[in-house]
Structure 1
Amino acid sequence: MLIVVLFLFGFVSGLRALTSPAGASWAAHLGMLTVAGTSLAFMASKWTVLIFTVLAIAELINDKLPKTPSRKVPPQFIARIVMGALAGGTAGAAHSVLGYGVILGILGAVAGTYGGAWLREKLTEVTKSAIGAALLEDALAIALVVTAIKGAA
């Protein structure tokens, strides 16, 4: 089950790069993920929570803008991989498997990036609304990160 959860943290980063580390940071801050004494202990800091929360909200807004580049272009793709590694690593560190968390977070981010792009395209076709599709993807990302947090706690 932990393997799926670590992958899921990364997958969410493929959908929304900052939602997953924001969720992992909140979980660490609230004591649901115990990262004290690990290299990712900073994820439990109130400042880390604040920064990731503000950035995640900004990303949710920015994603709806017409000039936002594809998630598959190198800068965005790399950011999703890094954030997936961070979120997966945080959950992994809480279970003493930091390396596995990082690797599964990266793999999940790659899958989420390509899977999310495909899903967004299909949702846009079905809803006939790019904004509607984006909002559905937002809801999915949030639901999945909550699921991952519950699975990791």
Structure 2
Amino acid sequence: MFILVLAFLIGIVAGLRALTAPAAVSWAARLGLLPLQGTALAFLSYAATPYIFTLLAIGELINDKLPKTPSRKVPPQFITRIITGAFSGAAVGAARQSLAIGLVGGAVGAVAGTLGGAAVRTKLADVFGRDLPAALLEDAVAIILAIVVVARLG
């Protein structure tokens, strides 16, 4: 049950920031907090993998603030978040021989994070009178939640 909760939470991270979740699980695997040796996801612990995902996640954090960035709810963005949430959740589950449970939990979390994150960000942007503070707050929530999930893996 605990694995399902962690997979759901890492899925929420993916719903907020699609590439932060795989970066977090990759770092967890590399640091030995997420034992993926002998699984199809063992590549997450390879030396270069967390750095690659981290660079992609930083690029996403920057891109998210640009005025031409499409809504996370359009199909390509939404589908990407579900995929990265499912993938990250699967990694959490695979470490405990529950890949399918993790995959489903991550996907469901990604849907919740995508829709919930969009709604909260819209309300916060209205409160702040502009989007940037809301976007930065959302970045912080995604990163902190990813760290909390990864810390619970160890």
TM-score interval for Structure 1 and Structure 2 normalised by the shorter chain: over 0.9
Q: Could you report, residue by residue, the CA deviation over 1:11-58 in whole angstroms, capped at 9, with x for unpaired residues?
A: 100000000100000000000100000110011112211210100000
Q: Identity across aligned pairs (percent)?
A: 56
Runs of 4+ in 1 over 6 A off after TM superposition: none
After TM superposition, the structure 1 = structure 2 runs for residues 67-86 of structure 1, keeping only pairs within 5 Å, are 67-86=68-87
After TM superposition, the structure 1 = structure 2 runs for residues 37-76 of structure 1, keeping only pairs within 5 Å, are 37-76=38-77
> Structure 1 stretch 39-48 or stretch 58-67: which is displaced more?
39-48
Q: Could you report, residue by residue, the CA deviation over 1:65-86 in whole angstroms, capped at 9, with x for unpaired residues?
A: 0000000001111110110011
Which residue is 2:7 aligned to?
6
Which residue is 1:94 aligned to?
95
Q: CA deviation at 1:127?
A: 1.5
Q: CA deviation at 1:152?
A: 2.2
Which residue is 2:147 aligned to?
146
Contact 1:29–1:45 (Cα < 8 Å) also in 2:
yes
> Could you list the runs of 5+ residues in structure 1 that have no partner in the other structure?
none
Distance in 2, matches of 1:56 and 1:46, equals 17
Q: CA deviation at 1:129?
A: 2.1
Q: Could you report, residue by residue, the CA deviation over 1:125-150 in whole angstroms, capped at 9, with x for unpaired residues?
A: 11112011000000000011111112
Distance in 2, matches of 1:127 and 1:89, equals 36
Alignment partner of 2:135: what SS?
A: helix
Q: Could you report, residue by residue, the CA deviation over 1:74-120 in whole angstroms, capped at 9, with x for unpaired residues?
A: 11111101100111111111111111110100000000000000011
> Could you list the runs of 5+ residues in structure 2 that have no partner in the other structure?
none
Contact 2:4–2:93 (Cα < 8 Å) also in 1:
no
Which residue is 1:26 aligned to?
27
Q: TM-score, normalised by structure 2?
A: 0.97
Opposite residue 73 of structure 1, the aligned amino acid is: V
Q: CA deviation at 1:8?
A: 0.3
Calculate the aligned-residue CA RMSD, in Å: 0.8
Alignment partner of 1:96: what SS?
A: coil
